[in-house]
Amino acid sequence: MLLQFELVADFVGADDSVVHGLEDLRSGSPRGVTTLPPMHHPSEPSPASTIDATGSGAASGGQADALGEPAGGDVSPSSPVRTVDVYTHGHQPAAVAQHARRTAEDCAAFARDVIRPESQILDVGCGPASITVGLARWASDGHVTGIEPGGDILAAAADTVAGASVANVTIAEASVYELPYGDNAFDVAYAHQVCQHLSDPVTAIREMARVVRPGGWVAVRDSDYSTMQSYPSSEQITRWREVYRTVCRHNGAEPDAGRHLYAWFREAGLPQVQMSGVVQQFWTDETRQNWGCSWAERCLHTAFARQAVEYGCATRDELEWIAAGWRAWADNPDAYFHYVHGQALAQVV
Ligand SMILES: C[S@@+](CC[C@H](N)C(=O)[O-])C[C@H]1O[C@@H](n2cnc3c(N)ncnc32)[C@H](O)[C@@H]1O
């Protein structure tokens, strides 16, 4: 089967323009991604070459540091449009592996009714693309474009697509703040756990709506970190929640995004919002171990851990203590965890 992979901006100047990548991947082409001249699905408009592949402009967000995050976390004051924020989680293996467990069935059920076999779908911030390939199966006669603003996660997404036997997916390098697509290009624009990482989610939602045709849909799902609660209660997990939320806010983002979606959609010019919510739970041996051990790792070996120390939100010793708390929670057969996702669905008029 023919697989389409596309990098709208290629990796020329990758040292500067790849903002979320890992150090060891910055020197060459991303694994599993064929870097081709822009190649577009026939029903998509041509990208409007708005990405700055020189690494000097807004799309790059400036120089990346050793963990691949943009230094200072911001575009330069002279940049007219912000296109990249500091990504709190980072794309290190412990975070990406957790995200790769997600499926369209779990994470896009609230939008299932508006996706038709022929739908043209934009998956904003597709991450490792495990949801993207599920959307592609739903839109079996349509097409899904998964975008990420740069870095090795593009290669991870391409690997997922290659392994999934779906021919109707394009992985492209782009930021939600400046989508390289024309007005009305898609039937559905979807973003899962992305707005919580953005310093300007309203602009992002407005931009998603711009590329959706009248009558199409914008669908966004985000968690609400304040609702993340464990049994038994744990001093370390309580402290983890505090540290995570503080780091996220330091990055200019809203960790409790789920509860903000309704207002953000309205502010973005989408007044007819259908809100729903889902409780995510971890209590089986497998899910409890995975969630607890994954967060133990993430507290030690990801950009989040690095940022927590760098911003003065936690010491390294404290992170070790929090990680031990997560492992103890995961090893308790009585342990349980839950949190709320907010889900917003709105038709573009
Ligand atoms: C928590 S991950 C979610 C990944 C995927 N949607 C999922 O749920 O598995 C958030 C993703 O949003 C991406 N992201 C951050 N800023 C973005 C931007 N300006 N435009 C598009 N994606 C962005 C990050 O790189 C990251 O991969």
Whole-angstrom distance, CA of residue 174 vs CA of residue 147 = 6
| Bridge partners, 338 (sequence order) | 229, 281
Q: What SS3 class is residue 79?
A: coil
Where does the pLDDT of residue 46 fall: very low under 50, low under 70, confident under 90, or very high at 90 and above?
very low
For residue 208, the number of C-alpha atoms closer than 13 Å in the C-beta half-sphere is 36
Contact between 261 and 295 under an 8 Å Cβ cutoff? The reply is: no
| Bridge partners, 220 (sequence order) | 191, 344
Mutation pick for ligand 1 pocket among 75, 106, 107, 197 (CB with most ligand atoms within 8 Å): 197
Q: What angle do CA 157, 163, 165 make, to 5 degrees?
A: 110
| Sheet strand arrangement including 336-347 | 169-173, 143-148, 120-124, 186-192, 212-231, 336-347, 273-282
Angle, in degrees to the nearest 10, between helices 303-310 and 235-250: 80
State the CB neighbour count (10 A cutoff) for residue 83.
Answer: 22
Mutation pick for ligand 1 pocket among 92, 148, 177 (CB with most ligand atoms within 8 Å): 148
pTM listed for this prediction: 0.82
Q: What SS3 class is residue 64?
A: strand
Pairing of strands 336-347, 273-282: antiparallel
289-to-96, 99, 295 alpha-carbon distances in Å: 16, 15, 10
Tally the residues of the chain: 349
Contact between 76 and 280 under an 8 Å Cβ cutoff? The reply is: no
Q: How far is the CA of 49 from the centre of ligand 1 (A)?
A: 21
What letter does residue 310 receive in the DSSP assignment? Answer: H
Picking from 185, 187, 68, 193, the residue whose alpha carbon sits closest to that of residue 125 is 193
Instruction: Locate 16 and state its tokens.
Output: 């500067």
Give CA 296 to chain center in angstroms: 20
Q: Which residue has the higher pLDDT, 3 or 148?
A: 148
Q: Is the pLDDT of residue 50 over 50?
A: no
Give CA 36 to chain center in angstroms: 24
Q: How far is the CA of 91 from the centre of ligand 1 (A)?
A: 10
H or E stretch covering 280: strand 273-282
**Poorest-pLDDT segment among 73-77, 133-137, 197-201:** 73-77
**Poorest-pLDDT segment among 48-57, 199-208, 285-294:** 48-57
Atom 1, ligand 1: which residue's CA is nearest?
A: 193
Q: Is the pLDDT of residue 232 over 80?
A: yes
Give CA 305 to chain center in angstroms: 18
Q: Which residues line ligand 1 (CB under 6 A)?
A: 20, 84-85, 87, 89, 99, 102, 124-127, 131, 147-149, 153, 175-177, 192-194, 197
pLDDT at 197: 98
Structural domains in the chain, sorted by start: 14-227+255-281+343-347 (3.40.50.150)
Contact between 303 and 244 under an 8 Å Cβ cutoff? The reply is: no
Q: Is 349 exposed, middle or buried (0-12, 13-18, 19+ CB in 10 A)?
A: exposed
pLDDT at 16: 22
Where does the pLDDT of residue 17 fall: very low under 50, low under 70, confident under 90, or very high at 90 and above?
very low
Residue percentage of the chain with pLDDT more than 70? 77
| Bridge partners, 148 (sequence order) | 173
Instruction: Locate 11 and state its tokens.
Output: 């990796």
